[in-house]
Amino acid sequence: MHINRKVVPTVFLFLLSGFVSAQTDSLSKSPAYPNFSIETGTLGAYKSVDTLDIMLSTAGYPIAGVDLKIGLDSYAMEILEVLRGELPDSCEWEFFDTKSSIDQGKEGYPRSIWQVIMLAEFMPDSVRPTCHSFNRPVSIARLVVMLNTDRARIMPDTLFPIYFFWEDCSDNTVTNISGDSLIMSLVVDGVASTDSFSVGAGHVQPAGTTPARYISFPSRLGAPDACINPKARNKPTRRLVFQSGGVKVGNMIDTTSTKQ
């Protein structure tokens, strides 16, 4: 079946907002916050290509749709492709799609952007996914990354971040099984421990963090307050925690090419 990628975000938002049923779940009411984290790996002369997992801890609560957007700035590495993780693969989710874009000179944008959209069910039919969550952290997508060893050789021990990125209210969100609850960013943590942002209005604000009212698109800090209409019947809730990752440059000395 051919899928028009240009309409996927619209379809995703329709699924999130349109399927309202009497069924409820406790994802949006849980005191435990679902957590997305990008793995950090080390590449160098001996290993210039690797796979990094985007991990999800659902705190045991079922989800039915995920819309992720990530970015990177360094010219010393590339994301070659994004593969299904264990959750959509093992649970036999019906839809998984990715698309990428390269920097077009827009201010505040990453050099490279990848969007990943996955749905347990793409359209209502007789086919049903086998599961919607795990009781342990599980990979939801896998990033195939490559280090440009020529560029990285002059930057030993450097960490090149891969981070979550927002340019729309639907970015980096999940929906419950009912389709009547959209969950978005609460806390965004950078690779460095000091690079932390709590974007949850009305929540306890950690020292040194940035409130959502000061955030606007494009954003690396989470979704701004403008994404939540307080008058909406099923307004989004802030429950998601995001942790960036990346690639660290390891040993760049290739002894196999050294003449004896």
Predicted confidence (pLDDT) per residue in 114-148, tens digit: 999 999 998 777 678 889 888 899 999 999 999 99
Q: How confident is the model at residue 17 (pLDDT cuts 50, 70, 90)?
A: very low
Two structure tokens written together for 46 = 């001996």
Give CA–CA dist 61/175, Å, rounded.
Answer: 11
**Helix ranges (DSSP H) in 19-112:** 86-90
- For residue 182, which of 237, 228, 120, 118 has the smallest C-alpha distance? 237
- pLDDT for res 27: 43
Query: What is the band of 210 on the pLDDT scale with cuts at 50, 70, 90?
Result: low
Q: Does residue 238 lie within any of the structural domains?
A: yes
Lowest mean pLDDT, pick from 9-23, 143-157, 241-255: 9-23
More confident residue, 232 or 12: 232
| Integer Cα distance of 114 and 96 in angstroms | 13
CA distance 67 to 88: 13
Question: Domain span at residue 63?
Answer: 5-16+25-250
Considering the domain boundaries, does residue 255 fall inside one?
A: no
The pLDDT value given to residue 196: 44
Q: Would you say residue 145 lies in a domain?
A: yes
pLDDT of residue 194: 37
Instruction: Report the range of poorest mean pLDDT among 12-16, 18-22, 223-227.
Output: 18-22
- Both tokens assigned to 240: 């998601």
Residue 127: which CATH number?
Answer: 2.60.40.680
In a domain, 147, yes or no: yes
Q: Which of 20-29, 198-207, 227-236 has the lowest mean pLDDT?
A: 20-29
pTM, two decimals, is 0.81
Q: Report whether pLDDT(169) > 90.
A: yes
In a domain, 53, yes or no: yes
Higher pLDDT, 62 or 4: 62
Q: What is the percentage of the chain residues whose pLDDT exceeds 90?
A: 50
How many other CB atoms are there within 10 angstroms of residue 254's CB atom? Answer: 12
Q: What is the pLDDT of residue 208?
A: 47
- Would you say residue 123 lies in a domain? yes
DSSP-derived pairing of the beta strands 138-147 and 77-84: antiparallel
Compute and round to an integer the Cα radius of gyration of the chain: 19
The answer as to whether 258 is a domain residue is no
Nearest C-alpha neighbor of 28 from the set 228, 175, 170, 197 = 175
Total structural domains within the chain: 1
Q: Tell whether the model's pLDDT for residue 102 goes beyond 90.
A: no
Residue 89 in this model has a pLDDT that exceeds 50: yes
Q: What is the pLDDT of residues 177-207, one digit of tens each?
A: 888 889 999 989 875 433 444 444 333 444 4
Of 23 and 162, the one with more pLDDT: 162
Mean pLDDT of the chain: 80
Contact call for residues 188 and 199 (beta carbons, < 8 A): yes
Residue 259, domain member (yes or no): no
Tokens 């990428």, located at residue: 100
Q: What's the mean pLDDT in 58-87?
A: 93
Report how far residue 220's alpha carbon sits from residue 165's, in angstroms, rounded to the nearest whole number. Answer: 5
- Which residues, in sequence order, are bridge partners of residue 243? 37, 189
Predicted pLDDT at 42 = 93
The strand ranges marked E within 58-149 are 65-72, 77-84, 95-102, 112-119, 138-147
**pLDDT over 90 at 3, yes or no:** no
